[in-house]
């Protein structure tokens, strides 16, 4: 497995991250077993970075992951554990409460304590603010980050789904560099290419992470706007490239993401062991500039002007 340094730090992450959002499936015994096997496979295959959030499976994904760490205590210090906070899920703290974004000091600390106790670890390598809280007080966030770092509970910080202006604003208050901005990037959602997110990552040396990286290839991406005609055109280009590179379409998609000079870290979420292994094939593809543009044009439905 190839690796890269996260943001301005010296922390080495595997070049593909394993996302733990789906590891409990429907929380049945069988799907939990499948989820544990997926994590074991990811560790065996050299993935060293695992992405969580306090809300994944209502906390059950972090709990399941702790079972693996319990069985293999030597693994903890060899991997990066990321978790996220800032989305107060519905029914929290009271039944029928709606979901809200919450970057208050009280909520961030409570969320980190919860993640540490579910994961049964002493520290998180990386904590991300999950989605922008419009009522964010950056001084308060910076203060709580500092306290969490001083206490050794969180080593590094980053953000997720932040617009460039929101990153700049928060960074201007934080005494240490934000390491990542985790956003949706896939063949359907290329906003990060267009709204300055990837430019800013390159400018400030922030590592972009792509969630749902194969959305729009093997399943419809969030808020799908592709027509049938779009899908046929895009699939046809994927099929051509699939033959050329001798790799399945979704692996070509990963290669497309990896090609970008901002050094996008795709976060894969498959729970199928053979796919966890196969994703690494994308790292071996010598993906051409020409094919990158061909896929972009197939996606857009028009040539570059």
Least distance in angstroms from the C-beta of 9 to ligand NAP: 20
Least distance in angstroms from the C-beta of 211 to ligand NAP: 3
Q: Smaller CB distance to ligand NAP: residue 141 or 279? A: 279
CB burial of 289-299 (b: ≥16 within 10 Å; e: otherwise) equals eebbeebbebb
Q: Smaller CB distance to ligand NAP: residue 131 or 146? A: 131
Q: Smaller CB distance to ligand NAP: residue 178 or 267? A: 267
Q: Smaller CB distance to ligand NAP: residue 7 or 269? A: 269
Q: What is the DSSP letter of 219?
A: B
Least distance in angstroms from the C-beta of 219 to ligand NAP: 6
ω into 93 cis (within 30 of 0):
yes
SS3 (DSSP) at 294: helix
The CA R_g of the chain, rounded to the nearest whole Å, is 19
Q: Where are the beta strands (DSSP E) in the chain?
A: 3-5, 12-14, 17-19, 49-51, 80-85, 87-88, 100-101, 124-129, 154-160, 180-184, 207-211, 265-268
Q: Smaller CB distance to ligand NAP: residue 29 or 304? A: 29
Six-digit token string for 289: 């500039």
SS3 (DSSP) at 227: coil
Q: Cβ of 239: how many Cβ atoms within 10 Å?
A: 12
**Alpha-carbon span 232 to 50, nearest angstrom:** 34
Least distance in angstroms from the C-beta of 218 to ligand NAP: 4
**Alpha-carbon span 296 to 6, nearest angstrom:** 27
Six-digit token string for 247: 């790799």
Least distance in angstroms from the C-beta of 186 to ligand NAP: 7
**Alpha-carbon span 141 to 174, nearest angstrom:** 8
Least distance in angstroms from the C-beta of 14 to ligand NAP: 14
**Alpha-carbon span 66 to 60, nearest angstrom:** 10
Q: Smaller CB distance to ligand NAP: residue 56 or 123? A: 56
Q: Smaller CB distance to ligand NAP: residue 47 or 250? A: 250
Q: Where are the beta strands (DSSP E) in 44-200?
A: 49-51, 80-85, 87-88, 100-101, 124-129, 154-160, 180-184
Catalytic positions, please? 56
Least distance in angstroms from the C-beta of 305 to ligand NAP: 30
Residues at the contact surface with ligand NAP, assessed by CB under 6 A: 19-22, 51, 130, 160-161, 182, 211-215, 218-219, 250, 267-272, 275
Comparing every residue's Cβ against ligand NAP, the nearest one is 269
């Amino acid at each position: 497995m190839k690796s890269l340094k996260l943001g301005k730090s010296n922390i080495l992450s595997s070049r593909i991250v394993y996302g733990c959002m789906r590891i409990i499936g429907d929380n049945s015994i069988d799907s939990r077993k499948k989820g544990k096997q997926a994590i074991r496979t990811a560790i065996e295959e050299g993935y060293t970075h695992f992405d969580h959030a306090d809300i994944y499976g209502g906390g059950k994904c972090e709990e399941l992951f702790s079972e693996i760490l319990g069985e293999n205590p030597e693994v903890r210090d060899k991997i990066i554990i990321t978790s996220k906070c800032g989305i107060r899920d519905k029914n929290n703290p009271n039944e029928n409460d709606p979901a809200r974004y919450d970057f208050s000091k009280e909520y961030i600390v409570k969320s980190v304590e919860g993640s540490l106790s579910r994961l049964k670890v002493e520290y998180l390598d990386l904590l991300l603010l999950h989605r922008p809280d419009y009522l964010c007080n950056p001084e308060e966030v910076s203060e709580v980050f500092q306290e969490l770092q001083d206490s050794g509970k969180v080593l590094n910080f980053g953000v997720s789904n932040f617009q460039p202006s929101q990153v700049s604003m928060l960074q201007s208050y934080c005494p240490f560099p934000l390491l990542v901005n985790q956003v949706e990037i896939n063949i359907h959602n290329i906003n990060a290419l267009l709204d300055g997110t990837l430019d800013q990552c390159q400018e400030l040396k922030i590592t972009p992470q792509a969630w749902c990286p194969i959305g729009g290839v093997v399943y419809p991406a969030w808020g799908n706007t592709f027509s049938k005609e779009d899908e046929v055109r895009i699939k046809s280009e994927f099929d051509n490239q699939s033959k050329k590179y001798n790799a399945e379409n979704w692996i070509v998609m990963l290669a497309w993401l990896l090609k970008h000079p901002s050094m996008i870290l795709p976060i894969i979420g498959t729970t199928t062991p053979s796919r966890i292994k196969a994703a690494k094939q994308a790292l071996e593809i010598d993906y051409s500039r020409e094919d990158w543009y061909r896929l972009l044009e197939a996606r857009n439905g028009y040539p570059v002007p």
